[in-house]
């Protein structure tokens, strides 16, 4: 029963976060967008600086969610069988799918404008998705406590 509850809650995290990413990820990267400036006036250096700053803001926000899911999943797994691999797979999907769906929606929205210029938030959200993919596998307690100690279940 505990395993089924864990799986249901992970899927619930996934379902709730996917639409929230559409609103929260651009807010966490807005400083990078402002640094980058208007698309028609910006230089390559301003664009890359804006992407870097936006990616750092988005990563800090989104990787706090990944840290929560990894820590929470670690605290919930108590089986020795194959079921723990199923739970970790669903936890992985719960961490990676929302940001990739958000990045895809940002890209579709940007392409519908037909501006022909790169968008800082689209590039930053794709990089955030890549970092979320990698972070899921490398997060450990020491790394999570150092940066996301305020997140529930981290360090417990």
Confidence label for 155 from pLDDT (cuts 50, 70 and 90): low
- 3-state class of 34 per DSSP? helix
Contact call for residues 32 and 10 (beta carbons, < 8 A): no
Average pLDDT in the chain: 85
**How does pLDDT run across 31-45, given as a tens digit for each residue?**
888 888 777 778 889
The rounded distance, in Å, linking the Cα atoms of 90 and 64 is: 18
Rounded-to-integer distance, Cα 48 and Cα 123, Å? 10
Contact predicate 132/96, CB 8 Å: yes
What would the mean pLDDT of 87-104 be, rounded to a whole number?
91
Q: Where are the alpha helices (DSSP H) in 2-140?
A: 2-28, 30-36, 44-76, 83-113, 120-138
């Amino acid at each position: 029963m505990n395993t089924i509850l864990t799986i249901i809650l992970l899927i619930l995290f996934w379902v709730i976060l996917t639409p929230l990413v559409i609103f929260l990820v651009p807010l966490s990267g807005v400083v990078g967008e402002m640094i980058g400036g208007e698309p028609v006036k910006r230089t390559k250096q301003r664009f890359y600086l804006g992407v870097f700053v936006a990616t750092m803001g988005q990563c800090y926000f989104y990787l706090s969610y990944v840290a929560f899911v990894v820590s929470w999943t670690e605290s919930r797994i108590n089986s020795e069988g194959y079921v723990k691999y199923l739970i970790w797979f669903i936890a992985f999907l719960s961490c990676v799918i929302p940001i990739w769906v958000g990045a895809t929606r940002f890209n579709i929205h940007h392409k519908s404008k037909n501006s022909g210029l790169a968008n800082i938030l689209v590039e930053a959200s794709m990089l955030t998705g890549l970092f979320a993919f990698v972070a899921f596998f490398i997060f450990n307690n020491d790394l999570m406590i150092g940066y996301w100690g305020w997140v529930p279940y981290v360090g417990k």
